[in-house]
Amino acid sequence: MTPIPAAISPSKKVFLLASVTALAGLVVAVTAMGCSSTTYVYADDGGPDGSKTVSTSSGSSGTSGASGASGTSGASGTSGTSGTSGTSGTSGTSGTSGTSGSSGSSGSSGSSGSSGSSGSSGSSGGLICPTTDPITAADIDAQLNWKAPAAFQNVCTQQNIDALKFLFKNAPAGSGVKYADIKATLGATCASCAFSATNSATWQVFVEDGAGAIDNRTGSCFAQRSGAVCGKARFRWESCLDAACPESDCGINGVQACTQKAQKGACLGLTDQYAKACPDEVTDLPICGNIFGAIATSCSGGPGNVIDINP
């Protein structure tokens, strides 16, 4: 898989091998994307924000019109024939003078050639935002086949979580925190629970493939709290919204408007599946959207843990 630039938000899931965030890249701050099925009500804010089904290539520029042929020049008129000279008079008695020859007629001027017609201009291409092409579970699973997390463990202590809080608190404003630093800060024992490989039998809070990591905090946490079917539905839903509304197309200020539209368009089917699979979203999201809560749920004793997850 190819890691995306660190400037791209790592809250995005991998889709079409385009969203693995390098381990040295930035992770979203403490809370994950504020997506909730409460937006399933479909508040329409009318923003013309971008999207992709898989990826929408930019419209190709129209071909330029062919240039018109130049007109041919008119033929030049023929010159008139010169008049014949008069015959000279005989000598002796004075002869009569010869008659003067008539002047030749002037040639007609040639007609001017017609100008060539101008070529037609080419049509311009463009993006459609958000896409109206449906994104299905099969589309996402073909690229990222989500796996349920392992049974919760009890290996991350309050001290581990507090160390992670300190890391986030002291990060430069707006800069985020690197996955590699999260892993180092948690320590080997806690990190071995919070991180897993893409080819392992289970997917934990963060999933590594050697080149980068996937932020699976909500998928893994929803699975721990409400079952694997819910966790998978959440992961697919977020992946669909990420694929439909990439920041590269929408701009940083256009993603939210696009995701609301995508839920009734490209991601409608997955939104329905998610709403049915996760009826307890209203209680799960405040914990699972919090990075400390997601780690504590999987690695500090399960949903009933007593870890303080407040930043």
Contacts of 163 by beta carbon, 8 Å cutoff, 6+ apart: 185, 186, 187
Strand, coil or helix: what is 230? helix
Calpha distance 208→240 (Å, rounded): 20
Nearest CA among 237, 50, 53 for reference residue 132: 53
The list of the chain residues with pLDDT below 70 reads 1-129, 132
Q: What is the pLDDT of residue 254?
A: 87
Whole-angstrom Cα distance, residue 224 to residue 297?
Answer: 7
Q: What pLDDT is attached to residue 32?
A: 58
| Range list of H helices, the chain | 137-141, 158-169, 179-194, 217-226, 228-244, 247-250, 255-262, 268-277, 281-288, 291-299
Alpha-carbon distance of 290 to 264, in angstroms, equals: 26
What integer pLDDT is reported at residue 31 of this predicted model?
Answer: 58
DSSP-based helix, strand, coil % in the chain, nearest 5: 35, 5, 60
Question: For the segment 110-123, what is each residue's pLDDT rounded down to a tens digit?
Answer: 444 444 444 333 33
Q: What is the pTM of this model?
A: 0.64
pLDDT of residue 251: 83
The pLDDT score that the predictor gives to residue 163 is 98
- Alpha-carbon distance of 219 to 231, in angstroms, equals 4
pLDDT tens figures, 239-259: 999 999 988 888 888 888 999
CA distances from 22 to 7, 64, 165, 210, 236 (A): 10, 42, 21, 9, 21
pLDDT at 128: 58
* pLDDT at res. 109: 47
Q: What per-residue confidence (pLDDT) applies to 172?
A: 87
Grouping H, G, I as helix, E, B as strand and the rest as coil, residue 197 is strand
Q: What is the structure's pLDDT at 268? A: 95
Residue 52, number of CB atoms within 10 A of its CB? 27
Task: Report whether 297 contacts 287 (CB < 8 A).
Answer: yes
What pLDDT score does 156 carry? 98
Residue 30: the pLDDT is 61
What pLDDT sits at residue 131? 72
Other Cβ atoms less than 10 A from the Cβ of 53: the count is 21
User: Around Cβ 286, how many Cβ atoms within 10 Å?
Assistant: 13
Residue from 206, 225, 195 nearest 285 by CA = 225
Cβ-proximal residues to 237 (8 Å cutoff; 6+ apart), any chain = 35, 267, 270, 271, 273, 274
Check: CB of residue 273 under 8 Å from CB of residue 236.
Answer: yes
Q: What is the reported pLDDT for 129?
A: 63
